[in-house]
Amino acid sequence: MRLNEFLEQCIPGYKLRDVLYNNDDFLINYLSEPEHNYGVASIFIDRDSLLEELEEHGMKMSGFDKMIQKYGWYISFIRGNKVSLLKLNGYDEGFYDVAGAYFSNLYLHITKAGPSKIKSTGLIAKDSLDPEIDISGTMKRGILYPNKRVYLWKLEDISGNLMKSSKNFESRLIGTFRSLFRGLNASGYGMYMYLIRLPQGLKTHFDQEYGPENPARYVTQNIPPSNIKYIGTVTRIEEIVLNKDVRRLKQILGI
């Protein structure tokens, strides 16, 4: 069992302040008291009081981030006087996955990186650290996370466990990609689309920012080119979906 996976169940949000105070002589002020519930994955603390505490301890914001990572938490964003702390890991246990589903173990990745690069390097997991948090106590990036990640869209989730034998299979297949473009705005991440089949046994995580109900997932390992298939530009796939060209879409997917 991984340390952070263990600690997520041992250090709930409502206990984090006490643990930091007793173990590290560090006091944080919640903006609102977290519920006494182990399932709480997000808490908000007061930025101004945190900066005062950091100054007193001769620490930087990144040092505080590393401190709370010992207990399975990290800084997710800083906006105004609000600092968001999230649990580090959320494993997708696949409770609602269906054996034999059309999109079983298949994910979509949309990026600015073209096929020639991805074919050569695969998808490289990257973190999203921001040096600005130590300079001004704010951030330039939209979101922070300390571990290296590759973000994916879980197609089985989006399709509602679509089966080849499902009623209205073709309309639901088109609807899966329509949901990506319209409901999830996935096309905003780049112009190239890739179909990913993860290596067997590789665990995915859900981002605590959005919770397990959102089809966004990530892995913390690199994905090799052999597990990646380029399926076209976002513009081209959107055109196929708009025209409800199921035959062409199935050809492109090749599954």
pTM for this entry: 0.87
Beta-bridge partners for 196: 107, 228
Q: Where are the alpha helices (DSSP H) in the chain?
A: 3-10, 13-24, 47-57, 61-69, 115-121, 132-135, 155-159, 169-178, 234-242, 246-253
Q: Which pLDDT does position 7 carry in this prediction? A: 42
Token pair recorded at residue 2: 């991984």
Q: How far is CA 115 from CA 41, 118, 250, in A?
A: 36, 5, 20
In tens, the pLDDT along 222-250 reads 999 999 999 999 999 999 999 999 999 99
Structural Rg of the chain based on CA atoms: 21
Can you give the residue ranges of every domain in the chain? 3-87, 106-253
Length of the chain, in residues = 255
* 71-101 pLDDT tens trace: 999 999 999 999 999 998 888 988 889 989 9
Angle formed at CA 222 by CA 216 and CA 225, multiple of 5 degrees: 100
Q: What is the mean pLDDT of residues 23-33?
A: 95
